[in-house]
Amino acid sequence: MSNAAPMAETVQPILSINNIEVIYDHVILVLKGVSLTVPQGGITALLGANGAGKTTTLKAISNLLQAERGAVTKGNILFEGNEIQSLSPNELVRRGCIQVMEGRHCFGHLSVEDNLMTGAFTRRDGASAIRQDLDMVYEYFPRLKVRRTSQAGYTSGGEQQMTAIGRALMSRPKMILLDEPSMGLAPQLVEEIFEIVRKLNEEQGVSFLLAEQNTNVALRYAKYGYILESGRIVLDGEAHALRENEDVKEFYLGIGGEGRRSFKDVKHYKRRKRWLA
C-alpha cells in the first residue's frame, strides 16, 4: 500500500461524527450539532477558542464524557463504520481509538517507563510485541529513554507531553485524539511535538484528530481543519485554504484584516447552518 496515493472519495473515513449534541448534567448544552470526518491516515485539526467545545468533542468520541456527567443526546459517531457511543473507553482503546488528554495527565508517581507500559493495558498480543513497541516509542522520543526511571511527576512539561503521546502509542492505536498538545510548552517544543505527530502519521499510519488553540501551528501540520465556535462548526476546509482565509487570519492567526473590527461582520458563517444539513 502506498501512502502517496490520493485518498479516493469512496474510502470510508476512519472517524465520522454526524450532527452530535452534547449535554452536561442534563441541562448544559455544549455541542449544538457538530459534524466532522477524519479520513484514513489523515491529520485533521479542530480549532477554536476556549470553551468552544473542542475538548467536549474529543471526549464525546472517546466516551470519557460519562465520567463528567456529559452525554451525547443526538447524532452518532462512527469509528471505522461502526457506531461507538455505547462502548466503554476501554473497549474503544482496544479497537484502536485513544485519547491523549489536555494537560498531559501523566501518572505522576509512576516512572516514565511504567507510564508508557500502562498504555498497553488492553493488549493481548504478548510481552515481546509490547517490548518492541516500547523500543519504537523510545526511538520516536529518545528523551524518554533517558528519563525512563524518573517519576513522571518530576519531568518537564514537554517530557510529560511526550510521555502521554508515547503512552497512547503503546496501545497500537489506529487513531489518536490529541487534545491541546501545545498547551504550556515553549514554541520550539511545540514544533518538536508536532514534527513527531507528522512522523507518526506518515510512518505508522496513525490518524490524528487534533484539538488546538494554536491555529498557526495546527494548520501547518494538519491536512484539513474545522473551526468550532460556541458548540458549532462555523468553517471548515483544507488546511492551506483556511490559512489563507481572511477571517481565520484575523480572528485566529492575529494577522490584521482591513475594516472588520467585530464578530458581527462575520455572522454569515452561522447562516450556513451545517448542523441542519
Partner 1 sequence: MDFLNSILIKPFADMFGAPDFLMQVLWEGLVSGVLYALIALGFVLIYKSSRIFNFAQGIMVVFAALTLVGLHEKGVPAWLALPLTLGVMYLLAMSIERVVLRPLVNQPDIILFMATIGITLFLIGFGEIIFGGENKVMITEQLGIPTGSWEFEPFGGFLSIEQRDVTAVVGAVLLVAALLLFLNKSKMGRAIRALGDDHQAALSVGISLSTIWVVVWFIAGVIALATGIVWGSRAGVSFALEVIAYKALPVLMLGGLESVLGAIVGGLAIGILEKLFEIYWGQPILGGNTETWFAFVLALIVLLFRPQGLFGERIIERV
Where does this chain bind partner 1 (CB under 8 A)?
A: 62, 64, 66-69, 88-90, 92-94, 98-101, 105-110, 114-115, 117-122, 151, 153-154, 157, 164, 167-168, 171
Q: Which is nearer to partner 1, 110 or 183 (CB)?
A: 110
| Smallest separation, CB 65 to partner 1 (Å) | 11
Both ends of the chain: CA-CA distance in Å? 35
C-beta closer to partner 1: residue 33 or 166: 166
**Complex with partner 1: residue 56 or 99, whichever CB lies closer:** 99
Q: Which is nearer to partner 1, 62 or 214 (CB)?
A: 62
Residue 274 has φ and ψ, to the nearest 5°, of -60, -30
**Per this entry, what is the length of the chain?**
277
Residue 79 Cβ, how far from partner 1 at the closest point, in Å? 14
Distances in Å between the alpha carbon of 112 and those of 20, 34, 92? 36, 36, 24
Least separation in angstroms between CB 80 and partner 1: 17
Cβ proximity to partner 1: between 78 and 130 the closer is 130
Q: How far is the CB of 61 from partner 1 (least distance, A)?
A: 11
- Which helix (H) or strand (E) element contains residue 249? helix 246-251
Give rounded-to-5 percent helix, strand, coil for the chain: 40, 25, 35
The smaller minimum CB distance to partner 1, of residues 102 and 250, is found at 102
Nearest to 52 by CA among 148, 179, 164: 179
- Minimum Å gap between C-beta 166 and partner 1 is 11
- Give the nearer residue to partner 1 in terms of CB position, either 24 or 269: 24
CB-nearer residue toward partner 1: 48 or 166: 166
SS3 state at 209: strand
Min CB(89)–partner 1 separation in Å: 5
DSSP for 57-105 reads HHHHHHT-GGGGTEEEEEEEEEETTEE-TTS-HHHHHHHTEEEE-TT--
Minimum gap (Å) between residue 64 Cβ and partner 1 = 6
CA distance 42 to 158: 24
CB 135 within 8 A of CB 142: no
Cell representation of residue 146: 533517558
Extract the C-alpha cell encoding 210. Answer: 487534533
Q: Maximum CA pair distance of the chain?
A: 62
Give least dist CB 164 to partner 1, A: 8
